[in-house]
A = this chain, B = another copy of it.
Amino acid sequence: MAAMTNEDLRKAGLKVTVPRLKILEILERSPQRHMSAEDIYRHLLESDKEVGLATVYRVLTQFEAAGLITRHNFEGGHSVFEINAGEHHDHLVCINCGIVEEFFDGIIEQRQQAIADKLGFSITGHALTIYGMCLHANDGKCPRRK
Protein backbone atom coordinates (compact mmCIF):
# COMPACT_ATOMS: atom_id res chain seq x y z
CA MET A 1 0.00 0.00 0.00
CA ALA A 2 2.92 2.32 0.43
CA ALA A 3 3.21 1.95 -3.34
CA MET A 4 -0.19 3.59 -3.67
CA THR A 5 1.38 6.92 -2.83
CA ASN A 6 2.64 7.61 -6.35
CA GLU A 7 -0.76 6.77 -7.72
CA ASP A 8 -2.41 9.14 -5.25
CA LEU A 9 -0.22 11.96 -6.47
CA ARG A 10 -0.92 11.27 -10.14
CA LYS A 11 -4.63 11.06 -9.48
CA ALA A 12 -4.37 14.54 -8.03
CA GLY A 13 -2.70 15.76 -11.21
CA LEU A 14 0.63 16.20 -9.47
CA LYS A 15 3.95 14.96 -10.78
CA VAL A 16 5.74 12.49 -8.58
CA THR A 17 8.74 14.44 -7.36
CA VAL A 18 11.29 13.98 -4.64
CA PRO A 19 10.06 16.81 -2.40
CA ARG A 20 6.47 15.62 -2.60
CA LEU A 21 7.35 12.05 -1.75
CA LYS A 22 9.54 13.11 1.13
CA ILE A 23 6.88 15.34 2.58
CA LEU A 24 4.27 12.62 2.30
CA GLU A 25 6.63 10.19 3.94
CA ILE A 26 7.25 12.51 6.84
CA LEU A 27 3.55 13.07 7.34
CA GLU A 28 2.94 9.33 7.26
CA ARG A 29 5.81 8.22 9.41
CA SER A 30 6.16 10.89 12.04
CA PRO A 31 4.85 9.87 15.45
CA GLN A 32 3.63 13.44 15.77
CA ARG A 33 0.50 13.37 13.66
CA HIS A 34 -0.03 17.13 13.62
CA MET A 35 2.85 19.03 12.11
CA SER A 36 3.44 22.63 11.14
CA ALA A 37 5.18 23.59 7.90
CA GLU A 38 8.25 24.42 9.96
CA ASP A 39 8.17 21.03 11.65
CA ILE A 40 8.15 19.33 8.29
CA TYR A 41 10.85 21.62 6.97
CA ARG A 42 13.10 20.73 9.88
CA HIS A 43 12.61 17.03 9.27
CA LEU A 44 13.54 17.58 5.64
CA LEU A 45 16.74 19.37 6.55
CA GLU A 46 17.81 16.33 8.53
CA SER A 47 17.69 14.18 5.43
CA ASP A 48 19.99 14.59 2.43
CA LYS A 49 18.23 16.59 -0.25
CA GLU A 50 17.63 20.25 0.50
CA VAL A 51 14.04 21.37 0.09
CA GLY A 52 12.99 24.98 0.36
CA LEU A 53 10.46 26.13 2.91
CA ALA A 54 8.47 27.72 0.11
CA THR A 55 8.15 24.33 -1.53
CA VAL A 56 6.89 22.84 1.70
CA TYR A 57 4.10 25.41 1.80
CA ARG A 58 3.28 24.95 -1.88
CA VAL A 59 3.17 21.19 -1.58
CA LEU A 60 1.08 21.26 1.57
CA THR A 61 -1.41 23.57 -0.09
CA GLN A 62 -1.65 21.24 -3.07
CA PHE A 63 -2.03 18.20 -0.86
CA GLU A 64 -4.81 19.90 0.99
CA ALA A 65 -6.57 20.77 -2.26
CA ALA A 66 -6.16 17.16 -3.35
CA GLY A 67 -7.72 15.96 -0.12
CA LEU A 68 -4.62 14.07 0.96
CA ILE A 69 -4.15 16.11 4.10
CA THR A 70 -6.15 18.45 6.31
CA ARG A 71 -5.09 21.83 7.61
CA HIS A 72 -6.03 22.93 11.11
CA ASN A 73 -5.76 26.46 12.46
CA PHE A 74 -5.12 26.04 16.13
CA GLU A 75 -4.62 29.06 18.33
CA GLY A 76 -1.33 30.85 18.12
CA GLY A 77 -1.25 31.95 14.51
CA HIS A 78 0.19 28.95 12.75
CA SER A 79 -1.36 25.98 10.99
CA VAL A 80 -0.77 22.30 11.44
CA PHE A 81 -1.34 19.55 8.92
CA GLU A 82 -2.26 15.90 9.24
CA ILE A 83 -2.66 13.05 6.75
CA ASN A 84 -6.20 12.08 5.98
CA ALA A 85 -6.21 8.62 7.44
CA GLY A 86 -9.81 7.57 7.31
CA GLU A 87 -12.52 9.23 9.28
CA HIS A 88 -13.18 12.80 10.27
CA HIS A 89 -12.46 13.83 13.83
CA ASP A 90 -12.00 16.89 15.99
CA HIS A 91 -9.29 17.85 18.44
CA LEU A 92 -8.53 18.44 22.05
CA VAL A 93 -5.33 20.40 22.70
CA CYS A 94 -3.54 20.74 26.02
CA ILE A 95 -2.64 24.40 26.45
CA ASN A 96 0.12 23.40 28.82
CA CYS A 97 2.07 20.70 27.03
CA GLY A 98 0.62 20.94 23.54
CA ILE A 99 -0.39 17.34 23.12
CA VAL A 100 -3.26 16.78 20.73
CA GLU A 101 -5.95 14.17 21.26
CA GLU A 102 -8.47 13.30 18.61
CA PHE A 103 -12.11 12.48 19.10
CA PHE A 104 -15.27 11.96 17.13
CA ASP A 105 -18.78 12.44 18.39
CA GLY A 106 -21.72 11.57 16.18
CA ILE A 107 -24.15 13.59 18.23
CA ILE A 108 -22.12 16.76 17.86
CA GLU A 109 -21.91 16.18 14.12
CA GLN A 110 -25.69 15.77 13.92
CA ARG A 111 -26.34 18.89 15.92
CA GLN A 112 -24.06 20.92 13.68
CA GLN A 113 -25.94 19.78 10.63
CA ALA A 114 -29.24 20.65 12.26
CA ILE A 115 -28.01 24.12 13.18
CA ALA A 116 -26.72 24.80 9.68
CA ASP A 117 -30.03 23.63 8.21
CA LYS A 118 -31.97 25.92 10.48
CA LEU A 119 -29.83 28.93 9.53
CA GLY A 120 -29.85 28.08 5.83
CA PHE A 121 -26.17 27.24 5.45
CA SER A 122 -24.73 24.38 3.47
CA ILE A 123 -21.74 23.15 5.44
CA THR A 124 -18.41 22.95 3.70
CA GLY A 125 -16.39 22.22 6.78
CA HIS A 126 -16.04 22.86 10.45
CA ALA A 127 -13.39 23.24 13.10
CA LEU A 128 -14.01 22.12 16.65
CA THR A 129 -11.12 22.29 19.03
CA ILE A 130 -11.38 21.98 22.77
CA TYR A 131 -8.58 23.62 24.73
CA GLY A 132 -7.73 22.52 28.21
CA MET A 133 -5.20 20.99 30.52
CA CYS A 134 -4.45 17.31 30.40
CA LEU A 135 -4.31 15.38 33.66
CA HIS A 136 -0.65 16.00 34.28
CA ALA A 137 -0.65 19.65 33.33
CA ASN A 138 -1.18 20.87 36.85
CA ASP A 139 1.69 19.16 38.58
CA GLY A 140 4.21 20.10 35.94
CA LYS A 141 4.65 16.44 35.06
CA CYS A 142 3.11 16.54 31.63
CA PRO A 143 4.34 13.29 30.14
CA ARG A 144 4.72 14.53 26.64
CA ARG A 145 5.75 18.09 27.26
CA LYS A 146 7.06 19.77 24.12
Contact = CB atoms under 8 A, between A and B. Distances in A.
> Which bracket fits the contact residues of A?
20 to 34
Contacts of A75: 73, 127
A107 to B, nearest CB: 5
Interface stretch (A22-30, A32-40, A80-88, A118-126): A118-126
Given A116-B130, A127-B75, A127-B128, A121 B101 contact: yes
A132 interface: yes
B120 A124 contact: no
B127 A133 contact: no
A130 B105 contact: no
Contacts of A18: none
8 contacts: A73-B77, A92-B116, A103-B119, A115-B130, A116-B130, A116-B132, A121-B134, A125-B130
Closest 10 A-B residue pairs measured CB to CB?
A121-B132, A120-B135, A123-B132, A126-B130, A128-B128, A125-B131, A124-B132, A108-B111, A127-B129, A122-B133
